[in-house]
Amino acid sequence: MVNTKVNLCGIEIDNPIIPASGTFGFGYEFATVYDINMLGTFSFKGTTKDPRFGNPTPRIAEAPSGMLNSVGLQNPGVEKVISEELPRLKACFKKLVMANVSGFAVEDYAYTCEKLNHEEQIGWFEVNVSCPNVHGGGLAFGTDLKNVAAVTKAVKKVTNKPVIIKLSPNVTDITEIAKSCEAEGADGVSLINTLLGMRINLKNRKPILANTMGGLSGPAVFPVALRMIYQVYNAVKIPIVGMGGVSTAEDVIEMMLAGATAVQVGAANLVDPFACKKIIEDLPQVMEKYRINSLTEIIGGAHNG
């Protein structure tokens, strides 16, 4: 019998499969089609201090081997997440959940995390400093090393729960950002968020997305994600949550070999709502195929070859 359990920042989870924020809502919609308690955990919809309507439409554009999104952090705000979304989630998900938090200033992140810190079902904070598609196609808040360090420090002051900083790939050297997170007390990092991209409509000669640019996700980004996870594993000692184009159990194994402790599944959920369920069900068979007894023994295994 293979062992799929992993320890993420001091909390054991049944398997490393985590639906990524923005692709799984607050979970209860997916709970109508399968038992989401089979997941390791999941990262709920990105939450900000105040409600956000998000970006104007169109927000989605197709791309070769992937998709572009410019949703713009649409969410009801932290107060309604606490009063409405989390009670509905608790009725169908019995495990600890990962709270994805976004903001536009250091104070925003600290405020939202402090509010959510009192919620018992929240096990981890995934602090998103890397959303590339909120304002006019501009670069993310998290492309500045000082910003990332300041957010990490501020959030760590207001919570006693593990803090995982979600990193942007749209930087010159992602290892320097990861090291600054670690230096300010981050318990882990997650990477990569989407790559900044765009499409143009040939008929009207204008950008397809109303926001001009958006985040590229899907299988196209998998090799980039894998490379960055591999690099960051060499640069820090804290756990890595890997993501970017994952759609199979084999992808999960590959990311863990690169250095990920857990693996998030994003765009695949939008293609197939059963994507995570299938990966979890396939994982034991794939482990047996590659003679893996326990997933914890392969984390970073590609660095030993």
- pLDDT tens by residue, 3-61: 999 999 999 999 999 999 999 999 999 999 999 999 999 999 999 999 999 999 999 99
- Catalytic residue, chosen from 9, 131, 181, 276, is 131
218 Ramachandran zone, left/alpha/beta (phi>0; psi -120 to 50): left
**230 neighbors 273 (Cβ within 8 angstroms):** no
Tell me what percent of the residues of the chain surpass a pLDDT of 90. 90
Strands lying side by side in the sheet with 214-217: 60-63, 66-69, 214-217, 195-197
Among candidates 258, 123, 269, 134, which has minimal Cα distance to 192?
258
Confidence at residue 137, expressed as pLDDT on a 0 to 100 scale:
39
pTM of the model: 0.96
Task: Over range 157-181, report the average pLDDT.
Answer: 96
Query: Has residue 272 got a pLDDT over 90?
Result: yes
Query: Has residue 185 got a pLDDT over 90?
Result: yes
- The class (CATH top level) of 6-54+73-197+215-304 is alpha beta
pLDDT band at 136 (very low <50, low <70, confident <90, very high): very low
Task: Over range 195-207, report the average pLDDT.
Answer: 97
For residue 61, CA distances in Å to 207, 208, 225, 283, 304 come to 10, 7, 21, 31, 40
Helix 249-258 to helix 275-289 angle, to the nearest 10 degrees? 70
Q: Any idea how long the chain is?
A: 305
Least confident of 103-112, 138-147, 186-195: 138-147
The count of other CB atoms within 10 Å of the CB of residue 48 is 23
pLDDT band at 131 (very low <50, low <70, confident <90, very high): low
Confidence at residue 130, expressed as pLDDT on a 0 to 100 scale:
78
Confidence at residue 304, expressed as pLDDT on a 0 to 100 scale:
82
Query: Has residue 144 got a pLDDT over 90?
Result: no
Q: Rounded CA gap, 161 and 56, in Å?
A: 35
State yes or no: is 131 an active-site residue: yes
Domain boundaries, the chain: 6-54+73-197+215-304
Q: Rounded CA gap, 244 and 20, in Å?
A: 10
Q: Rounded CA gap, 199 and 208, in Å?
A: 6
Helices (H) and strands (E) in the chain — how many of each?
9, 15
pLDDT band at 228 (very low <50, low <70, confident <90, very high): very high
Query: Has residue 305 got a pLDDT over 80?
Result: no
Query: Has residue 271 got a pLDDT over 60?
Result: yes
Residue 117's Cβ-count burial label (10 Å; 0-12, 13-18, 19+) is middle
